[in-house]
Amino acid sequence: MYSSYIVFVEGCATVLSSGLKIRDVDSLDLAILEKMLSDGRIKFKELARTTKSDQRTIASRFERMTRLGIVKRVTIEVDWSRIGLTATAYMGSTTALGEEDRKKLFEFIRGEPRILEADATIGSHEYFLKVVDLDIAALRAEICAPLEPLTVDLTTSLVTNSIKRTDYAGLFRYLRRTVLK
């Protein structure tokens, strides 16, 4: 039902300050994060061995990164389609209907468990949502239909194939090459 444990790390805009200097993170911290992102079940003992450090250092670094909000949580990644949620969609919307409708929209988004993520954006839409549901008909009837009166220009794009999955190893290579020179 799940592929592996993963650690969620704050986005680069927060971890990186202006001028591309990494705030509160050094090469050992990045090595710990990289190893945990590739194998979230890795033990501190194994991390210490692979980073040529000791367990106490690993534990204190992990605790510090958690306290700083760099490590947000440790969780599993679920393939929702394997348990029956076969429709995945990205939805974009604009809200120009007034503050009361905006409140209703936010209440719906926050209360709907099939809306996995919701972000306010600058661009063609004010909000983007990542949604899963049993099938396209349920998505249309139970998520799109209630959203339509609360939004202007609601668009839905169904995911048919994944082109690229999150590549944390590539991101760490980039950080080492461009920021940790």
Pair 31, 68 in one domain? yes
The whole domain housing 132 covers: 84-158
Q: Is residue 51 part of a domain?
A: yes
Pair 71, 127 in one domain? no
Q: What is the CATH number of the domain that holds 89?
A: 3.30.70.920
pLDDT of residue 23: 65
CA distance 57 to 151: 50
- Mean pLDDT, residues 99-123 taken together: 93
pLDDT of residue 64: 92
Pair 146, 126 in one domain? yes
Q: What is the CATH number of the domain that holds 72?
A: 1.10.10.10
| pLDDT reading at 18 higher than 60 | no
pLDDT of residue 96: 67
Pair 27, 66 in one domain? yes
Element (H, E) at 132: strand 127-133
Q: Is residue 177 part of a domain?
A: no
Q: Is residue 55 part of a domain?
A: yes
Distance in angstroms between the alpha carbons of the first and the last residue of the chain:
40
pLDDT of residue 40: 82
- What does the pLDDT look like over 146-172, one tens digit per residue? 999 988 889 999 999 889 888 888 888
List beta partners, residue 51.
none
Pair 131, 154 in one domain? yes
Q: Is residue 112 part of a domain?
A: yes
Q: Is residue 180 part of a domain?
A: no
Q: Is residue 21 part of a domain?
A: yes
Give the amino acid at 137. Answer: A
Helix axes 27-38, 168-178, angle to 10 degrees: 170
- What does the pLDDT look like over 47-99, one tens digit per residue? 999 999 999 999 999 999 999 888 888 878 888 889 999 999 999 998 867 88
Q: Is residue 52 part of a domain?
A: yes
pTM of the predicted structure, to 2 decimals: 0.72
Domain count of the chain? 2
Q: Is residue 15 part of a domain?
A: yes
